[in-house]
Structure 1
């Protein structure tokens, strides 16, 4: 396997967020353990994430800023502007940076790319894997992974891929880091009182839901609990959040590498939908979950239907929404225990190992 080269095409920015990058990074580190050579191909990447790749010996091939205008008819979908150019230009640039290396697998995690881009890249890789969770466009790939839960086992890709494309659907394939597997064996269902609360709205949180949640909890002076707040280094309100946490006696963690430990220690979470949902489920942490991006709508709805999360309908006054629903769940130990049990039954934190096995390296 030492000659196997795996390339990831993924971006991370304040607009895109960090979730796509982190699930690719999780899979990449598992592939490194198997002896594969791994590189990331990115047009947009936040500096802390570029440093993370360097720390783990993962190559980074940066795509240049294009001169071609975005408004070309090649792209018409909602997420086209995430790319910074059109698919044709991006495909040609990716082919150029991968030239000279016969890639075994090209793994693509990008809402702005579809079968047109993938078809052009087939010339420089043996196989293509796509990570997706929208089910809204055609793909020309050999393997497709969607780690989201679908109600009634619905397959959203039946008409979007070829018959010979292998599908890995559901949170049994959720790409969770090794520490989640390790801590899971020490976790029991949350069936005791709430002593520690976790606030986490993703690595970017452009809408600053973190500050809203902090304000809501600060009003609950009649309740007693510790609070951990997690934000990314590029959070738009970072300094103010750090200051408020100091005033309130909350613990603020900036760009932490101890996410699994914080989830394991908490009894209740307030956070965003998206891939972090499966991290919390794997460790049985009941969560009050809010949609903060359009692509989280379906995931959050299906997970709530399955009682894996608690997803209140937000009102215009989000502070009051959080305060009311937090109090309700805080005082409902049986519901917290039920959510904890259901989520741990569905997500076992072995997903990354299953995906590596399916790659047949």
Structure 2
């Protein structure tokens, strides 16, 4: 009988879809192995449709199953809540982007940020580094097609600041870009529609999309809110920058900037029109974008999803 692998995460407009998407990528890969995969959490229509398309069942609440392996992906867990999950199953793994879940009862701790090996003290439970990032097969195909492409003139920019534009910088960003570039297609992915218009460029708005891969393929440059999109854009060989929505995301963006695979546009609550215009002008310089693309070739690993699943299975086997 196949072992059960349960993903415990949410996927809705309130928390966004980053946690859910990476769990779904891992789950789809794990289905190639002897696992019965399922999800547990709060999901909206978009997430439910994606689970249905992948033929993966889900529940709103978790039930006890002492044969199950559970992978938790949420920033809102505590030691008590994770211990409660541990009492319901055989093994608990957690995706820990900010090294906050170093609890002895956990069976695996996954941190796939750039340079995680340098700022996390490793244990035999840890899976560390961007070489294990769960990039989907769709993104891998885009990366393969773009590995030899050098920076081209900017004709299209994708702007995706996340589920919540907490400090209302979207309109400032659009106005600033409109003053810097001409005849460029600006695509906005946001829960809230911008209230500004463009004089010099074309503006398109989407409240959500079903396939981010298409948008990475169709745009030359990506500006994100500091979450997983900056990783996905870099993996797809797209020059990218981030206006980070939280201090933790800013720290991560600065690490990526040190490795020259992302450009820091600042913390959203501190951004001003003047500072944003200066930093955007620097980022859009062709030399900056070419240097990013060269580093993206080596920092990211095309086989990272396979490496991650292999390491998860190794950790599980060692500890059970």
Report the TM-score, using the length of structure 2 for normalisation: 0.85
- 2:210 is paired with a residue of what secondary structure? coil
- Secondary structure of 2:68's partner? strand
The 5 A counterparts of 1:267-278 are 267-278=220-231
Aligned to 2:137: 178
1:1-361 aligned at under 5 Å gives the runs 3-34=2-33, 36-42=35-41, 44-63=42-61, 94=62, 97=63, 99=64, 101-139=65-103, 140-150=105-115, 153-158=117-122, 163-165=123-125, 167-187=126-146, 188-220=148-180, 223-231=182-190, 235=191, 237-238=192-193, 240=194, 244=197, 249-313=202-266, 318-330=272-284, 332-360=285-313
Structure 2: gaps (5+ residues)? none
Name the SS of the counterpart of 2:266 in structure 1: coil
TM-aligned CA distance change 1:33 to 1:254, over 3 Å = farther
Q: State the secondary structure of the residue aligned to 2:158.
A: strand
Specify whether residues 155 and 267 from structure 1 end up closer, same or farther in structure 2 by C-alpha distance, changes over 3 A only: same
112-121 or 340-349, larger mean C-alpha shift? 112-121
CA 1:272–1:156 in structure 2 vs 1: closer, same or farther (change >3 Å)? same
Residue correspondences, number: 311
User: TM-score, normalised to structure 1's length?
Assistant: 0.76
CA contact (8 A) 2:37 2:56 kept: yes
Deviation at 1:305, TM superposition (A): 1.6
Question: CA 1:109–1:32 in 2, change beyond 3 Å: closer, same or farther?
Answer: same
RMSD between superposed Cα atoms in Å: 2.8
Cα deviation, residue 107, structure 1: 0.2
Indicate the SS of the match to 2:264. Answer: coil
Cα deviation per residue 1:204-235 (whole Å; 9 max; x = unaligned)?
444444333222222336x332222223xxx1
Mark the CA change 1:179 to 1:347 in structure 2 (over 3 Å): closer, same or farther: same
Separation in 1 of the partners of 2:163 and 2:32? 26
